[in-house]
Chain A
């Protein structure tokens, strides 16, 4: 009986250590490329629209800690084939205040961009 309980406990612990499943395709998390740990930065909802022929994106970011978090981000714009349609953007620096929810707006550089990735780097 005890070995059974211990065995079940060990299995549960191992399951906790297992790698998390990849984000579902098309979800907000699948669009974020985190270069480095994303401690206390949560990617919230994303709004994607096509206005006047150009793809526009608005990403919600939450700082779950109570301290200011500096971070760098940039968008990569992809075409139908999943490859970039424009040159790499410059990195932008932003500071998320403690417990702040902020929005990162972006507009695609060319009309043929149909998808995007958000690259985030925390120093």
Chain B
């Protein structure tokens, strides 16, 4: 009698430890972290994989082209979104800038989004009288950009009863500011098809 009780208690204890959470995580089993580099095909719209593919292929093509000699200063303009869907094109330019910086081939001038904070900081340092003169960054010493990087993304959407096909075309060009000549251009095409 006692031995049966002991056995059943031991069995229940074993089952309980089996159900216990041994991993250092807490929360619902429905939510999990995924692979940021995985190919995402949740919907036909512009997705994380498209962003990664574009940033990767454009920066590598530009870095390896040999146009950027001696780490020139580049001014990046926003990518024009010519598609009919909402795409955060600033994230595309941010990824391109980050990867180009990491490759060590270019330096970037303050672009239009950062210019206001740059001007504010310079004004604060020079005109407020709060900072020690020997530590102040003087106005009139900003480095101007040698090149301009501009791009656009457009799409062609076709629908039939069986398919929805979306074709993206991203093009990027590097323009010499003084001469106005385009020194480098490249484009990336992506096709995503939904079979109904």
Residues of A bordering B, CB below 8 Å: 51-54, 56, 72, 74, 86, 88-93, 107-111
> Does B171 reach chain A (CB closer than 8 Å)?
no
Find out whether the CB atom of B64 lies under 8 angstroms from the CB atom of A74: no
In the assembled complex, the Cα of A86 lies from the Cα of B99 at a distance in Å of 10
**A86 — nearest CB in chain B belongs to which residue?**
B102
Find out whether the CB atom of B60 lies under 8 angstroms from the CB atom of A54: yes
Find out whether the CB atom of B39 lies under 8 angstroms from the CB atom of A93: yes
Q: A52-B66, A90-B37, A90-B56 are in contact. Are A109 and B49 (CB under 8 A)?
A: no
Interface residues of B in 1-41 (CB under 8 A from A): 37-39
> Number of contacts between A and B (CB, 8 Å)?
47
Find out whether the CB atom of A74 lies under 8 angstroms from the CB atom of B63: no
Residues of chain A within 8 A (CB-CB) of B103 are 54, 109-111
Find out whether the CB atom of A109 lies under 8 angstroms from the CB atom of B60: yes
Residues of chain B within 8 A (CB-CB) of A89 are 37, 56
Find out whether the CB atom of B66 lies under 8 angstroms from the CB atom of A109: no
> Does B137 reach chain A (CB closer than 8 Å)?
no
Residues of B bordering A, CB below 8 Å: 37-39, 49, 52-53, 56, 59-61, 63-66, 99, 102-104
Residues of chain A within 8 A (CB-CB) of B60 are 54, 107-109
Told that A51-B66, A54-B64 touch, could you supply 15 new A-B pairs with CB distance under 8 A?
A51-B64, A74-B37, A90-B37, A90-B53, A91-B39, A91-B49, A92-B39, A107-B60, A107-B63, A109-B59, A109-B60, A109-B99, A109-B103, A110-B104, A111-B103
Least CB distance, A18 to chain B, in whole angstroms: 36
Residues of chain A within 8 A (CB-CB) of B59 are 109
A-B contact pairs, 18 of them (CB 8 A): A51-B64, A52-B66, A53-B64, A54-B60, A54-B64, A56-B64, A88-B37, A90-B39, A90-B49, A91-B37, A92-B53, A93-B39, A108-B60, A109-B56, A109-B99, A109-B102, A111-B103, A111-B104
**A106 — nearest CB in chain B belongs to which residue?**
B60
**A108 — nearest CB in chain B belongs to which residue?**
B60
Least CB distance, A32 to chain B, in whole angstroms: 19
Residues of chain B within 8 A (CB-CB) of A52 are 64-66
Residues of chain A within 8 A (CB-CB) of B102 are 86, 109-110
Residues of chain A within 8 A (CB-CB) of B66 are 51-52
Residues of chain B within 8 A (CB-CB) of A93 are 39
Find out whether the CB atom of B38 lies under 8 angstroms from the CB atom of A91: yes
**A51 — nearest CB in chain B belongs to which residue?**
B64
In the assembled complex, the Cα of A89 lies from the Cα of B64 at a distance in Å of 17
Least CB distance, A92 to chain B, in whole angstroms: 7
Least CB distance, B35 to chain A, in whole angstroms: 8
Counting from the closest, the 5 A-B pairs by CB-CB distance are A90-B52, A52-B66, A107-B60, A54-B64, A90-B37
Residues of chain A within 8 A (CB-CB) of B49 are 90-91
Q: For A107, give its contact among B39, B53, B64 (CB under 8 Å).
A: B64
In the assembled complex, the Cα of A86 lies from the Cα of B56 at a distance in Å of 12
In the assembled complex, the Cα of A86 lies from the Cα of B64 at a distance in Å of 16
